[in-house]
Amino acid sequence: MRLWNVVAVVLLGGALTLSGCKSSRKVTEARPDAAALSDVQHVERVIAGSPQADCIDAKMRFTLRMGDKELSVGGNLRMKRDDVIQLSLVGFGIIEGGRIEFTRDSVLLLDRIHRCYVRMAYRDVEFLRDSGADFYTLQALFRNELVLPGVRHVTAGEASRFHVSRRPDGRVVLSGDERGALACRFVTSLAGALLEQTEISTASGKALVWTYGDFVRMGTGHYPGRMEIVLRGQDMPVTAVIALSRIGTGDGWATRTPVSARYRRMDARSLIRELMQM
């Protein structure tokens, strides 16, 4: 199985799970005086701790584990707020073998080795269209942010929409409106209000667990240098780890990937079905 195909399975699989999310739960980390803060203040601290930079640019090491097999490749992760998310997969440090590009209205999967590609609108994928998922849902995952249905950016104005519960282990869980078939939970450490994990599960037992770590300072907020994405409820356990380095906020890169006329366009439905069966 081509590595970029596997990456597409993990990322698109996460998008599919997330797409129907009608509830949000997140955990807040409080300062030493956390006990004196109101529930809304806890949520506001989590929101304020997310990175504020418009652009994020980092070197990436992508590692995929499927059952007892492990594959690893280098690359880059680049994002521009409300515009694009790009993941390029680079072999031997110099050759880009594939690219996945999420924009506000479409997804591009580009295979440079076999000279083929898929471009699809979110509305062309039935389960995404019906559940109301869009680019902003994926953006929140990659940017380590809270999610609320129908809200592009969760701000302090939405803080009151979350319910707060404290756990014995020192975590504070923020839960949103319970609607739809999916449940979402966000967990943060109490000391720093950093979002450490997003867990999304369905009634059928499938779940997406997106864990963050190795945070670095980014302006007035923080950004994770490590992301672990686990798909549960599959026939075979699937885990992807994105390890980032040289994390910056530069914008000197192309926000759109041109596709050569020599590349063959593939049918989106057929490719997704093929990928999910591999």
Predicted pLDDT of residue 26: 39
Predicted pLDDT of residue 233: 79
- pTM for the structure as a whole: 0.82
**Domains of the chain listed by start with CATH number:** 3-272 (2.50.20.10)
Predicted confidence pLDDT, tens digits, the chain (278 residues) = 454 555 555 555 555 444 444 434 333 444 446 667 787 888 898 899 999 899 999 999 999 888 888 888 899 999 999 999 999 988 766 788 889 999 998 999 888 888 889 998 877 765 455 445 688 888 998 999 988 767 889 899 988 888 788 777 767 777 665 555 566 788 877 778 889 998 877 666 777 889 999 999 998 899 999 999 998 877 777 899 999 999 999 999 999 999 999 999 987 666 555 444 44
CB 209 within 8 A of CB 232: yes
Q: Which are the contacts of 153, defined by CB distance < 8 A and separation ≥ 6? A: 136, 145
